[in-house]
Structure 1
């Protein structure tokens, strides 16, 4: 299978790895990033054929800009077969600190409203066509709340629930909604973490597995599978035991740190 894939957050990390995975599989690319010059340089470095990709500049926090990017993709390249809402941020917060409430707002604006706005231009055309896949990148961190991760964990829990709701709405029309929850992936978002990261994956390994998951049309998948087992165990732990296990765990860096 090959076609057109549209990916947000394509200038680094998971998004960049997904773009290269799809390109090597013969797909055309619609790539979205704030830093379009960086993305263009990367495309040239990788010797991507210009006729097989297009770059759209948009910040997913800007609803007007990201929906316009989706509409521009449809006009220039056609309706994608796969849309991957990958753009996201991870910042630690302390809810006792007033300034961190604004950080939390920005996390939600990116990880949640930005994801919904990414999908919005494509939903009705896909439903009318009767095919397509909308892929939301969540996180294992959305399974349970971790100290210092209140904004990120809650935003990714919302991604999981949002995609589940959307899946029920789209299923009768032949459009798939796929939720992928990465574990720890070696990206700029994770390299400053000050705690252990079990089963750390390289972005290209994650992208290869995610590509398979989307092609299979799975509704929800944790990558790697080992983190899926860990996530199930964490979900089953009684609160008292879960809290004791996390006592003293290093917290995510706050923006001010």
Structure 2
């Protein structure tokens, strides 16, 4: 089903929409009858994909932005407001995942870039829409975190820390907007088959397709769930890992391959 041309139809603003989870979410919201505002650095690829779905500019608008550049993503949000109106759903999905070794100087720059994209980029994505959504009294701001937020994993220092920060940030924002009618939804994907995970050098239990994740995410967003791990099996695993004493947790992860660093491929 194509997004409708009716401007009264709900509008979904999604970052990182050129591939993986973001693209699957765009397709799922389109099937549900939403108009789309899609954001990516690779806007040409995204535009070509949108056109291949048969969506014209009344149904889907593409905006070029780098969420790690605050002015860039804020400008995209403001352009959406001017061109398409106030979204009903804003999904801050864009993110990066690169391994790091604190002993390596270059990896400190990797950590800075990770935080700029995964954390400041999320706040900058939401920023243009908070006031107009609050004024309207409705809407949903959706932060994509990760099961990696639950416990720190070797070689994942930047990613795990950034996703833990997403959970805390969204919780803070939810409290700030509690009486406004604007919901804040925090989603924690497990392993999803995307370009971010295909280079991983370890087992990925309960691996999902992007489409399967998008179906469950859509349901959680529609229900205005404040916090949800997808799939639920990973939520159980995450709770068990959280409950483990540190000594046991360290023993469980002993010998586990580290996340590949920048410039490394699959071992």
* TM-score, reference length from structure 2: 0.95
Q: CA deviation at 1:49?
A: 3.6
* Contact preservation (8 Å) 1:2, 1:25: no
Give 1:13's aligned residue. 20
Give 1:101's aligned residue. 108
- Aligned-partner Cα distance in 2 for 1:153–1:2: 37
Runs of 4+ aligned structure 1 residues displaced above 6 Å come to none
Determine which of 214, 238, 249 is the counterpart of 1:231: 238
Determine which of 139, 142, 148 is the counterpart of 1:132: 139
Give 1:66's aligned residue. 73
- Aligned-partner Cα distance in 1 for 2:134–2:242: 34
Give 1:242's aligned residue. 249
- Aligned-partner Cα distance in 1 for 2:259–2:155: 5
Are 1:162 and 2:173 an aligned pair?
no
Are 1:178 and 2:185 an aligned pair?
yes
- Aligned-partner Cα distance in 1 for 2:56–2:229: 32
- Aligned-partner Cα distance in 2 for 1:237–1:13: 32
Give 2:201's aligned residue. 194
Are 1:256 and 2:263 an aligned pair?
yes
The answer to which structure has the higher helix fraction is 1
Q: CA deviation at 1:2?
A: 5.3
Superposed CA offset, 1:205-249 (max 9, x none):
100110000000000000000000001111101000000000110
Alignment gaps of 5+ in structure 1 = none
Alignment gaps of 5+ in structure 2 = 1-7
Superposed CA offset, 1:140-166 (max 9, x none):
000000000000000000000000000
* TM-score, reference length from structure 1: 0.99
Query: How many pairs does the alignment contain?
Result: 257
- Aligned-partner Cα distance in 2 for 1:111–1:4: 23
Closer, same or farther in 2 for the Cα pair 1:2/1:211, shift >3 Å? farther
